[in-house]
Structure 1
Amino acid sequence: MTLADLVLAAGVAFFLGSIPTAWMVARSRGVRIFSVGTRQAGATNVYREVGRSAALVVGIVDAVKGGLAILVAMWAGLEGSWLLLPAVAAIMGHWNSPMTRFRGGDGVITAVGVMIAISPSGTIVPIVVGMIIALALKPRFAHPSAWGGITGFITLNILAAVTDTGMSTATVAGMTLIAASILLHSYAYHRRMPGAVPIQVIDEVLDGDHPDAQIPQTPGPQAPA
């Protein structure tokens, strides 16, 4: 493995991650994904603003992006904890796609694709746990995929401590840091949004159930004196 191999793997991973799947799918359905919902190009926002079938396509392609980034890196000679480099590059590309003026999504599903490619047998249980949590939180949370992803990585750490996941301690620790970065990225994004509220109450505000969701009243015409 040479420096050129590292640069190649990182460059290809960033390019794959930056492919704006959600933006392209939503655009094909006449929806401007950066102007609706959470204003992020991810499967969750597509599910809510475009539809289930569109979100399924986005989810599959985003996972493939992450997995393909790792497979290309393996082909280039990277192994072990070195695979964290293309993993980070793929997620950075998903966050900041040059094709959409450096906008993107959280990168949770792309991270799932990365995990599967690095260790299919060691990540199946964490992925299933994460999916269950995401589905359970979907009705009330704006970003169930983010919380599901974090739960999955916590499960991965527990399994790594008691079983052989096929990943080194450094790789598991690195993937956990990536997961924490995804959560912080999501939180920071919503803090920056105009009129944003904490992530856990976004759905309540949108539904009008939260006390902060005050709808301004437009005064009607005044009766003549």
Structure 2
Amino acid sequence: MWKLTERLEATSDATAVDSVTLPFELRMRGRLKATSDGGREIGIFLDRGPVLRDGALLRAETGEIVAVRAADEPVVTATTAVGLAQARLCYHLGNRHVQLAIGGNGEGGWVRFPPDHVLEALAARLGATLEHHRAPFDPEPGAYAEGHGHSHGSGPGGGEGHEHSHGHSHDHPHDPVHGQGQRHAQVYDFQHHLSHRDSLKHEH
């Protein structure tokens, strides 16, 4: 069994001798056993880190290099016009903190996510056309993910598109007012402390 223990840089010019095709759920894990596309038993033993992207290269303890491929899996692709309509769709789906892949071409834009009846109903209300199918799901890790920049993914028709994602699933939007309230409270407490300190000085 090849033990894959090292992530190679995205700019590496190393050549893979085999590949392993995994769904997104397994590519989020740092440790697992699988069978490569060439039929070899492999074990992935990585430190906790970024999700394995489609095209990532891993090196075995014995030097062999294996490429990671995103498997076809059930997804929903919501198609809409490029521009404001797609931006609105991304905004409302993004507020749900779900994994999203986003792309487009000259004919329109698309947003891809795992099947979810709530998200599907929301996308339909926003005017998107929905397609249930199987395709690679490789959402972008996010702006703050370690060691990863912008990635590319396959569009509905096999073309490339940009992607975007959020970490976990919630059914409520951000609450910026709450955060502002905390900052205001901190400012008030600090000012109150200064006033109390000054009053003590005058008493003495």
TM-score range, shorter chain: under 0.3
If each structure's strand is expressed as a fraction of its own residues, which one has the higher value? Answer: 2
Q: Give the structure with higher Rg (CA).
A: 2
Normalized against structure 1, the TM-score is what?
0.24
If each structure's helix is expressed as a fraction of its own residues, which one has the higher value? Answer: 1
